[in-house]
Amino acid sequence: MNLESYRMYLIAVRGGLTDEKSRDLQRFIRHHEGFILMVTRTGPIVALDEAKSTLVSNHPLVEFMGPVELNPRGFAARQLESIFAANLGKQVELVYDGEDSALSS
């Protein structure tokens, strides 16, 4: 899986986030090869192929979806990156093929 075209997005859920809406949206994102990096009170922060961003942003549960970039020198950047990495690690498996590693989900 090539992750070069993946970007981070913050999603605000229409009508407020509930457990049911969160599960439905997360399933939809995973179905379209996206990853859940973190869930906030407003909605998830996801990693998604740019080519599929319009598809996800048009989902009926999505009120707003915008790109996210962390300031690498920001106070919380390292903490957020650690959370994102831990959550991503629960969703993918590293596969070593002898020469280089690849991600599979």
- Condensed to tens digits (0 to 9), the pLDDT of residues 8-51 reads 999 999 999 999 999 999 999 999 999 999 999 999 999 999 99
Q: Quick one: 73 exposed, middle or buried, by C-beta within 10 A (0-12, 13-18, 19+)?
A: exposed
Which 3 state secondary structure label does DSSP give 91?
A: coil
Query: Bigger pLDDT: 36 or 1?
Result: 36
Residue 101: pLDDT band with limits 50, 70, 90: very low
- Its pTM stands at 0.80
Domain contains 1: no
Residue 87 has pLDDT above 60, yes or no: yes
SS3 content of the chain, % helix, strand, coil (to 5): 30, 30, 35
**Count of structural domains, the chain:** 1
Residue 44: which CATH number? 3.30.70
- In terms of residue numbers, what domain contains 11? 6-104
